[in-house]
Amino acid sequence: MSMDLLIEKIRAKNNPTVAGLDPKIEYVPRYIIDKNYSIYGKNIKTVIESIFEFNKGLIDALCDIVPAVKPQSAYYEMLGYHGAKLLDRTVQYAKEKGLYVICDVKRNDIGSTAAAYAEGYFDKDGYNVNSITVNAYLGSDGIEPFKKYCDESDKSIFVLVKTSNPSSGELQDLRLENGETIYEHMADMVSCWGENSIGKSGYSNVGAVVGATYPHQLTELRERMPHAFFLVPGYGAQGATARDIAGAFDKSGVGAIVNSSRGIMCAYKNSGTSEQNYAQAARDEAIRMRDEILSVL
Amino acid sequence: MSMDLLIEKIRAKNNPTVAGLDPKIEYVPRYIIDKNYSIYGKNIKTVIESIFEFNKGLIDALCDIVPAVKPQSAYYEMLGYHGAKLLDRTVQYAKEKGLYVICDVKRNDIGSTAAAYAEGYFDKDGYNVNSITVNAYLGSDGIEPFKKYCDESDKSIFVLVKTSNPSSGELQDLRLENGETIYEHMADMVSCWGENSIGKSGYSNVGAVVGATYPHQLTELRERMPHAFFLVPGYGAQGATARDIAGAFDKSGVGAIVNSSRGIMCAYKNSGTSEQNYAQAARDEAIRMRDEILSVL
């Protein structure tokens, strides 16, 4: 079971943290850009190779500390079609280093189209990641093709339930006529989609995205969906603390993986270390974050 | 205003149809694949070049009949990173031929990430399409970055309101405590996002996706959101007829563009013409569809 594999990797490293790989060229140390500029000149190749070198340095520094990475597709798509190859190189490198790869794509569409997305992200000939995020506004049709890969090819998905952004409540917090909120109803749909793929860990291959910025809902949803593993964004740059995420975990301290993107990638800027030490600074921050999270479990 | 531009193109061709470009290699005539195979051999390049040639033939045959094309990103992403360049080539070719390009990506994310998507799809250095589809489960944060491009750079977006797939009601039809359905509430959010960008056509740059497969809701939503232009999927292969889409239009026969993908792309298979005539068959089907739609307005 794919979610079991993620949980094994979390246990092996004693670290329920996923490092977001959301690179912008502004995050890349100047010396890396200068070196590539001297080779490729004023060309998109300078941007692409610089970001890849940056990602690679981060992966090398983090791969014995964190169990998983989460490339956010938008930061690759931002670079047009060049970004797609950069994403693929990043994914393949992270997998070579033994990391579980969650591609944050939030895809959603009608059944036949969702099947095309599932092939693109889960197939051997596609990006072949371990897991992706999906948006279920379209209901089951948009989930089934991904679930098929979860069941047959050892993949997992994380469905958006309660997102971390300030305006998430505009739709998700609305109350239905039965008194439930939309996100609670979504949580029940997710539980239902996962009920046939519960692994030995007690968690299914259909997980949920629940933001750390809403600690009350996080705790409530942990109880409501006991077999859904949580991907928890919002820690660090978005403002949530370790105390805020405690409710995402079950009594055994399992049940969630907490994401940090800018906090880890840009640690060298925040800590004031030299840019040459960006990878070490990222590693130090990942260790600090791990220890902080473990302290509240 | 970008939506005005689309409406002008629809008027100029007297055709409220958008041709979906959702290519699968199975749709491409054998003679095109054979030719490319003889050049590139058993290689992804055979697939990519065959699909591009197919798309190009369709665009050439349709560009004086239809005002717009809608590439569905999933069918390009299905081909991994190779597909991203294929999408870009397809988009640029369609724009050269004067077509309005709606890229069907259904993107959605938190504010900073939505800004990265907006840059990727709307910027000169990115795909630079006229319009994209978006999913607003995350509320305003995920819409504002796209709206900024709509207001400042003459782009438009279509927000998912009531989708065409069979399970769309699982979430979208649920009733809120005030008696409204979720899709009605979404419709009101869309109207609100569009209210500062209403062009001379009377329609804003923030449109709505409403499926032809739900004619009753289509009519209801046309009334509820008078300034939102509709992108209407579901005609043809998904089962909706011209009569079903009549309610999407206002009293002047404006207000919507109806998509057909497989119906047009695979017209040569459905009509039993030889595969060499695939482009002519697509053109004939686009004309037939145009006339059928115009007959109910």
A71 has which bridge partners? A21
Pick among 3.30.1490.20, 3.20.20.70, 1.10.10.10, 3.40.50.300: CATH of A2-14+101-296: 3.20.20.70
The band of B212, judged by pLDDT with boundaries at 50, 70 and 90, is very high
Residues A68 and A102 sit within 8 Å (Cβ to Cβ)? yes
The band of A264, judged by pLDDT with boundaries at 50, 70 and 90, is very high
Assign B250 to helix, strand or coil.
coil
Pick among 3.30.465.10, 3.40.50.300, 3.40.50.720, 3.20.20.70: CATH of B2-14+104-296: 3.20.20.70
Residue B47's pLDDT is: 98
For chain A, give the mean pLDDT: 96
Interface contacts (A, B; CB < 8 Å): 192
Residue B170's pLDDT is: 98
Q: What number is the ipTM of this complex?
A: 0.97
> Is there a contact between B177 and A177 if contact means CB atoms under 8 Å apart?
yes
Taking 90 as the threshold, does the pLDDT of residue A238 lie above it? no
Taking 90 as the threshold, does the pLDDT of residue A154 lie above it? no
* Residue B25: φ, ψ to 5°: -60, -30
Q: Helix, strand, coil shares of chain B as percentages rounded to 5?
A: 55, 15, 30
Q: Which of B97, B106, B148, B269 is catalytic?
A: B106
Q: Measure B117 CA to nearest chain A CA, in Å.
A: 5
Residue A101's pLDDT is: 98
Tokens at B90, concatenated: 């397809």
Residue A84's pLDDT is: 97
Residues B210 and B263 sit within 8 Å (Cβ to Cβ)? no
Picking from A87, A138, A170, the nearest residue to B81 by CB comes out as: A87
Q: Taking every pair of C-alpha atoms in chain B, what is the biggest distance, in angstroms?
A: 63
Helix runs in chain A, H state only: 2-13, 30-40, 44-62, 73-77, 81-96, 111-122, 144-153, 169-172, 182-194, 215-224, 242-245, 262-265, 267-271, 278-296
Does the annotation mark B106 as catalytic? yes
Provide CB contacts within 8 A for A286, sequence distance 6+: A15, A17, A19, A62, A65, A66, A260, A264
Residues of chain B found within 8 Å of residue A142, distances taken between Cβ atoms: 165, 167
